[in-house]
Amino acid sequence: MSLDNTTSNEDSDLQYLVTFERDYHGELVIDQLLSLESPTFNPIQNIHPLHKGYATLPHELQLGIVSPLSLFRLFFTNEQLQLMVENTNTYEQVKGREGGQVWNPLTLNELKIWLGLIIYMGVHHINALDDLWNQDDKRTNHKIKRFISLYRFQQIKRFFHISALGQLHTQWYLKVEPFTSHIQSTVKKYYVPSSQVSIDEMIVHFSGRSIHTVRVKNKPTPERYKIISLCDYSYTWAFVFTSRVKKNDLIESISGLNNIGCLIAHLANVLPNNKMYYIYMNNYFSSIPLFKYLREKGMGACGTIRTNLFRFPKELKIGKKIALDWNTLLEKVINDILAIFWIDNGPVTMLTTIHEIVGENWKVIRNRRQPRKTSFNANTVCRVFGDRHRKELEILWIIDDYNHYMGGVDIADQLREYYNCQLTVRRTWFPLFFWILDTVLVNCVIIYHKVTNSNISSKDFRINLVPQDLQTSSKGKRIVINKKYELPVTRLLGGDHFVEWREKRMACIYCCYLAQHGAKDINSDNPLQTQLWCTNCEVLLCCSKARPTCFRNFHLKDNKN
């Protein structure tokens, strides 16, 4: 890893006297460690006050009821979906018929059902597509076969296309454009991250062949795409696709920074200019030139660092075989960056432009767990705990902040993996689309929690996005709507809410909704069936002699009358 080669004589900043001697084995031994005054370090000043993350939804959603579907449609807009429909139909025309089967042009409504099925499969952990269309009474029967056949689902999956044909793709990920750019701008538009953000790598499962994947041994997913992301807790706010063999054209070269440093600088520079930000990262990204660059840009940085990097203070390069007492601390200032060496269960080396080791608030008390007897430096650390398995101990403020804020990307990965929508595919760009879909779903849940103060689970949120006609009971006589179900907010928005007759006949969702709220004139076990749909809301609604007002009342604000 190449770094800035500029040198400076800063040995005078060291305020610790360390005497080293070598034994006959050649191993480094510390004979004396005498602490003098802490080095003078001025952390970065907050130009703007620190803040928490908050959502910035459109005005019409702020006035109405925010529902999972309304949030999802902010990202997967009808315009973007219609573009996918057109490019899919065009792609099929170029490829021609496959297997002699006739291709019926894809429609917008059909694409929405197809996406709903993908979300449905993630919620129910279905890996084999055939299981969704089985008719064996001894196995779980899904209702999907009533709305789309297995062949049609596979046919759409075969010809699904996002980018326009005939475009010259200079980057491997441009097959998911312009949808990726739309998502990149949308996730920034509707959410402002908090002052503490983290940068780390995310993985995308792909077991096919691609020169752009990376292989990391001894990992649950050894072969994968790597995406560098900036997250606020679990909200993915910015991301960059990376390749093993090709540099991303969006990343500008910056003098004094290596390729990794330029990538981190690119993510940091898209943060709002009128806010104060602290960026946390691990030792794969941290470097002295990068931290210096971020400080000059008015952003704080904190992270672990590898001791073998160029310009890392040689006084802090303590051999790992040296047993030191717990809480041993060394520090040095270099280029307005504080470098520390601290002994916990093992040696920890960090860089920061945020924290300082003076005053009264540089330590915090945390309940720590005693390390294993086989862990590094266990003999010296266990003396601190004695016979206790846990103990209240003082740790550095920098360590505590790093533990709290560095895990934002990992939490986003964890939430995405619970109900991920990844299907087995061969096209190299397809996993990126599934990853974007999962990322949008996780972001929508975060926004929903911020706006509504609701504790809805990620699973329930995704179930609310599945088309209502896929949530019918085993007999197909009623829609599964409980008391927590919320009517879609689209019913209150503008647009063409026309009645359309379709072949599928099922229960009116408004009748089911009223039955859950105590309507005595509706048979909750057998609500009225209908074939009339609202073309805008995509739901079944009554408009008959028995119940002539369902369609009208559904689109009124007072929805329980």
Position 259 in a domain? no
245 falls within a domain: no
- Directed axis angle between helix 430-452 and helix 68-75, to 10°? 140
Name the residue range of residue 502's domain: 476-554
> How remote is the C-alpha of 423 from its chain's centroid?
18
* 313 and 397 within one domain: yes
435 lies in some domain: no
DSSP states of 263-294 as a string?
Answer: HHHHHHHTS-TTS--EEEE-TTT--HHHHHHH
Provide the pLDDT for residue 272: 93
Residue 363, helix vs strand vs coil: strand
Q: Count CA within 13 A, CB hemisphere, residue 248.
A: 20
Q: For position 330, what pLDDT does the model report?
A: 87
Residue 75 lies in a domain: no
What is the rounded CA–CA span in Å between residue 176 and residue 169? 10
Q: What is the pLDDT of residue 524?
A: 64
Distance CA 316, CA 354 (A): 19
Give the pLDDT of residue 278.
97
Where a domain ends, among 379, 405, 431? 405
pLDDT number for residue 252: 92
Q: Which of 405, 421, 447 is the last residue of a domain?
A: 405
- Is residue 56 helix, strand or coil? coil
| 381 inside domain | yes
pTM above 0.85, yes or no: no
By CB neighbour count within 10 A (0-12 exposed, 13-18 middle, 19+ buried), where does 230 fall? buried
Number of structural domains the chain divides into: 2
- Residue-level pLDDT, tens digit, the chain, 561 residues: 333 433 333 333 333 333 333 332 333 434 444 344 567 888 999 989 999 999 998 877 765 678 888 899 999 999 999 999 999 999 988 876 655 568 889 999 889 889 988 998 888 877 677 777 877 666 666 767 777 888 888 889 999 999 988 777 778 889 999 999 999 999 999 999 999 999 999 989 887 888 888 887 777 677 789 999 999 989 999 999 999 888 888 899 999 999 999 999 999 999 999 999 999 999 999 999 999 999 999 999 999 999 888 788 888 887 766 777 788 888 899 989 999 998 888 889 999 999 988 766 788 888 888 877 777 777 777 778 888 888 888 889 999 999 999 999 999 999 999 999 888 888 889 999 999 999 999 999 999 999 888 888 898 898 888 765 444 333 333 445 676 677 776 677 766 788 888 777 778 888 888 887 777 777 766 677 888 888 777 788 888 877 888 888 888 866 554
Helix (H) or strand (E) holding 330: strand 329-334
Q: Are residues 399 and 307 in the same domain?
A: yes
The SS3 assignment for 85 reads helix
Distance CA 26, CA 21 (A): 9
Which of 405, 436, 460 finishes a domain? 405
In a domain, 184, yes or no: no
Burial 132-163 (b: 16+ CB within 10 A, else e): beeeeeeeeebbbeebbeeebbebbeebbbbb
Answer yes or no: is 254 within a domain. no
CA distances from 22 to 14, 27, 308, 370, 473 (A): 22, 6, 20, 32, 77
Could you give the angle at the alpha carbon of 440 between the alpha carbons of 220 and 468, nearest 5°? 110
> How far is 266 from 263, CA to CA, in rounded Å?
5
Same domain membership, residue 306 and residue 401: yes
Residue recorded with tokens 């047993």: 323
**What pLDDT shows up at residue 72?**
92
Structure-block tokens of residue 506? 């099922």
**Domain co-membership, 304 together with 401:** yes
On whether residue 389 sits in a domain, the answer given is yes
* pLDDT of amino acid 139: 67
Report d(CA 481, CA 462) in Å as an integer: 14
